[in-house]
Amino acid sequence: MALLEVEDIHSYYGNIHALRGVSLTVEEGEVVTLIGSNGAGKTTTLRSINGILPPREGRIVFRGEEIQGVPAHGMVGKGIAQSPEGRKVFHRMTVLENLEMGAYHRNDRAEIRQDMDRVFDLFPRLQERVKQEAGTMSGGEQQMLAIGRALMSRPKLLLLDEPSMGLAPVLVERIFQIIEEINKQGTTILLVEQNANVALEIATRGYVLETGAVVNAAPAEKLREDPKVREAYLGEI
């Protein structure tokens, strides 16, 4: 049984039919990426999985349990955490306070401390700025904090939405090195990323979305070799 199974979901923004029968699976230990142009439905798929935009039709099964009716605030307790598009850290709170918010539902103090140390090992910059207000940090530092905050819930599945958005190329490379390390440490990842080149380099498998539907699904290596994918998403002709 897959860790996550999304079966034929249809999601709407009001009367706008945003997802049209999206199905995908994520096996434990994988990095699975969703690629596609702006408006294809990538972020909407994450929002549907995470309970922010519950689908009107279809099933979402996580660790053998149907979760499509679970509200967003209940997903962390199920083992799903998200680092959202645009980072969305708590600007007036310190780095430490932001990280503590990631563990708000936990009371295992010793293990929370272990996870805090893990985050600082992954992101030494955060430890250097532990007392700094998040809103005064650079975009790259805020992205590190958003990922670190999500890790503080000790998720079984980490949803990453555009982690490279707005970052300089050197920071993009570093962020993706850290994402690979997080996966090697045992966290399964579902990744939405506009930069399809870097996404497919670290992913196990990928799904291509167009206008709210999956139009291609294959191992990452095959997607990198697909002429249509190369032309449309990898900037090659």
The three-state secondary structure class of 7 is strand
Domain locations in the chain as residue ranges: 1-79+156-237, 85-154
pTM metric for this prediction: 0.92
Mean pLDDT of all residues in the chain? 93
Terminal Cα-to-Cα distance of the chain (whole angstroms):
39
Report how far residue 64's alpha carbon sits from residue 139's, in angstroms, rounded to the nearest whole number: 37
In single-letter form, the type of residue at position 115 comes to D
Q: What's the token pair of residue 167?
A: 């970052």
pLDDT confidence tier of residue 87, bands split at 50, 70 and 90: confident
Q: Write down the pLDDT at residue 226.
A: 93
- What was the pLDDT predicted at 81? 96
Angstrom distance (rounded) from CA 20 to CA 36: 15
The sheet with strand 188-192 has its strands ordered as 80-83, 157-161, 188-192, 31-35, 205-210, 213-219
Q: How large is the average pLDDT for residues 181-207?
A: 95
Is the pLDDT assigned to residue 217 strictly greater than 60?
yes
pLDDT surpasses 70 at 236: no
State the maximum Cα–Cα separation within the chain, in Å, rounded to a whole number.
53
pLDDT in tens, 140-175: 899 999 999 999 999 999 999 999 888 888 888 899
Share of the chain above pLDDT 70, in %: 99
Instruction: Say yes or no to pLDDT of 191 above 60.
Output: yes
Q: Is residue 113 a contact partner of residue 119, using CB atoms and an 8 Å limit?
A: no
Q: What architecture is the 1-79+156-237 domain classified under in CATH?
A: 3-Layer(aba) Sandwich (3.40)
Rounded to whole angstroms, the Cα distance separating 142 from 176 reads 15
Q: Are 126 and 146 in contact (CB under 8 A)?
A: no
